[in-house]
Chains A and B, each alone.
Chain A
Amino acid sequence: MGTLDDLYITITSDELLFFVPVFYIKTVERKDSREEDIPFVDLAKLTGADEERKNSGYRLLLSHEGRTFALTAEQVGNLRTVPREAQRPLPDSVRTDENRYLSAIVPIESEDESGRELLAYVLDPKILYESAAAARPDLEEPKGNS
């Protein structure tokens, strides 16, 4: 049986699948049109989605070391148990400073009729927070004030 550490929520962007550790998630909500008032990361923008697909319909509020930040995503899917042993490291040849927020790859079975395996990326909330805070330092809230 899995622990909370093994539990992830599935989000999608530009037909790619990502896992966010539930441990870091405070809330998931539909994104409205108002300006973000806390540091945030737009997953579509971060992952270089096509301009036409940059449509982030959901907002996840995450907490890292007492600080809250938002991650916007195209779609939010199911909860999934992903044990540590199912996670594979990113091959060195694809790892760059630009994708440090991808902490692992997980082979999963496609939910479409093809039944083929596909690969999901595990997101590292600590690195996402660094990106969010660096982009909008004016919005960063004091530690522990969440």
Chain B
Amino acid sequence: MEYITAINENRTLYIEKNKVAAILAQPRIQRVPGAGANIRGISLYDGQIVVYYRLGDGEGCGIIIKTDEDGLMGITAEYPSQDDIEPSALTAVMPGIWEIKSD
């Protein structure tokens, strides 16, 4: 199965390619005062408010992901890539977002 990989120094995430809405260079992400530690911030994309989640430390690009509820969410990465990997090697992080099983 094809995945877009969000590569960070400390974590690599695998996003189902058919769920990726866009990959943006240097997205303008704004802090949300009082939001939980798992929230990096919010941004506008195509007229919609996108919540960026903190999954890794990268900041170079934003990957916008379609959610099951017809919404959008985002994560950041140092840089994106593409990979073909067996789903059985992965474990779910969030809907549509995976990482390599640790065992």
Residues of A at the B interface (CB closer than 8 Å) are 14, 16, 46-48, 88, 90-91, 93-96, 98-99, 102, 105, 107, 116-119, 121
Contact = CB atoms under 8 A, between A and B. Distances in A.
Interface stretch (B13-21, B28-36, B56-64, B81-89): B28-36
B90 interface: no
Given A105-B49, A117-B44, A119-B44, A94 B30 contact: no
B44 A94 contact: no
Contact of B42 (A47, A48, A94, A116): A94
Contacts, number: 52
Contact of B33 (A48, A88, A91, A93): A48
30 contacts: A14-B31, A16-B31, A16-B33, A47-B33, A47-B34, A48-B33, A88-B49, A90-B32, A91-B42, A91-B49, A91-B51, A93-B39, A93-B51, A94-B35, A94-B36, A94-B39, A95-B35, A96-B34, A98-B33, A98-B34, A98-B35, A99-B32, A99-B33, A99-B35, A102-B32, A107-B47, A117-B44, A118-B28, A119-B42, A119-B43
Contacts of A88: 49
Contacts of A117: 44
Contacts of A105: 42, 49
Contacts of B47: 107
Contacts of A96: 34-36
Nearest to B31: A16
B28 A94 contact: no
A37 B103 CA distance: 61
B51 A118 contact: no
A91 B28 CA distance: 17
A60 to B, nearest CB: 18
A107 B46 CA distance: 12
Contacts of A107: 44, 47, 49
Contacts of A118: 28, 30, 44
Interface in B41-93: 42-44, 47, 49, 51
Contact of B30 (A93, A95, A119): A119
A99 B33 CA distance: 6
A69 to B, nearest CB: 19
